[in-house]
């Protein structure tokens, strides 16, 4: 939304307009941090815990669809960890919250809040054949947004931790072969020499189940969880090998392009998105 902009003005709820400075942006999450100067202290949103959301929880989406300022719509959390191939970054992180709150062109960047008014997501895209609301709204999880914005504020860029692996979401056949009762986690398909996963003793074929106790049920979700950590962070990985649960502590690597975690196989789903979403 800020690409190509030379000067940016922010319009507040009370119609005041303020000039904004771009502190930093992150193409992989489609987020930017802006700074405005005001004569008085401005009210700010409070982040909630997006990890605590449950399917069916009520949510409110706030935006400016079709120029209708500060429109509020309601819906429920339909799913977590959705990927719709909507972002453009080389190492895009798509583990969206999906809701059925009515969101239309003009709502991108608006708040998604819980029933306590806490910010738990940022509306990003819709899935639609008509270009209008059809019940599929996707938002960046608040916990991910909080981490990205903190890095942009402190460093002017995002410092993202990596494992140095190529992974694929575990399917039923792979789970049976590994001796699991049901499909869960992500299977390591390739390890990058000298990076965190290989240094910790992980092997090709291991199935990663959680990172610091946060369940990992898809390749996209693994990307999102890893993005919360800085390079050099120490985390405990739970994984499955030789028909039993194991764990290991790993020091995460940095976010050089060659070190990023990669998806393998048909994990990124392509949908017929509207021109408004594609832009």
Tokens found for residue 16: 């005041």
Q: What is the pLDDT of residue 270?
A: 30
Local structure of 1: helix, strand or coil: coil
Please name each of the domains of the chain with its CATH number.
50-157 (2.40.10.10), 165-263 (2.30.42.10)
Compute the distance between CA of residue 14 and CA of residue 88 in angstroms, rounded to an integer: 34
From CA 238, how far away is CA 245, in angstroms rounded? 7
Chunked into runs of 10 residues, the chain (279 residues) has average pLDDT values of 77 89 88 91 92 95 87 93 63 79 85 96 79 77 92 90 92 96 95 94 97 90 87 96 97 63 37 31
Q: What is the pLDDT of residue 133?
A: 65
CB 74 within 8 A of CB 113: no
For the chain, what percentages of helix, strand and coil (3-state, to nearest 5) are there?
15, 35, 50
């Amino acid at each position: 939304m800020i690409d190509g902009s030379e000067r940016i003005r922010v319009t507040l709820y009370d119609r005041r307009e303020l000039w904004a400075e771009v502190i930093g942006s992150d193409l992989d999450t489609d987020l930017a941090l802006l700074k405005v100067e005001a004569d008085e202290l401005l009210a700010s949103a409070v982040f909630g815990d997006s990890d605590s959301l449950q399917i069916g929880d009520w949510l409110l989406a706030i935006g400016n669809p079709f120029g209708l300022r500060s429109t509020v719509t309601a819906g429920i959390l339909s799913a977590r960890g959705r990927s719709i191939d909507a972002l453009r970054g080389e190492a895009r992180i798509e583990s969206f919250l999906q809701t059925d709150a009515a969101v239309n062109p003009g709502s991108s960047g608006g708040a998604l809040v819980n029933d306590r008014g806490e910010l738990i997501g940022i509306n990003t895209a819709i899935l639609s054949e008509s270009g209008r609301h059809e019940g599929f709204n996707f938002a960046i999880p608040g916990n991910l947004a909080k981490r990205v914005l903190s890095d942009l504020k402190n460093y002017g860029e995002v410092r993202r931790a990596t494992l140095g692996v190529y992974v694929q979401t575990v399917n039923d056949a792979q789970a049976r072969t590994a001796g699991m009762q049901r499909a869960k986690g992500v299977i390591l398909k390739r390890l990058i020499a000298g990076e965190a996963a290989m240094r910790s003793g992980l092997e090709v074929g291991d199935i990663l189940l959680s990172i610091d106790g946060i369940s990992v049920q898809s390749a996209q979700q693994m990307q999102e969880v890893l993005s919360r950590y800085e390079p050099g962070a120490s985390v405990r990985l739970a994984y499955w090998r030789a028909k039993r649960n194991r764990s290991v502590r790993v020091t995460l690597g940095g976010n050089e392009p060659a070190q990023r975690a990669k998806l393998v196989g048909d994990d990124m789903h392509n949908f017929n998105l509207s021109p408004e979403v594609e832009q």
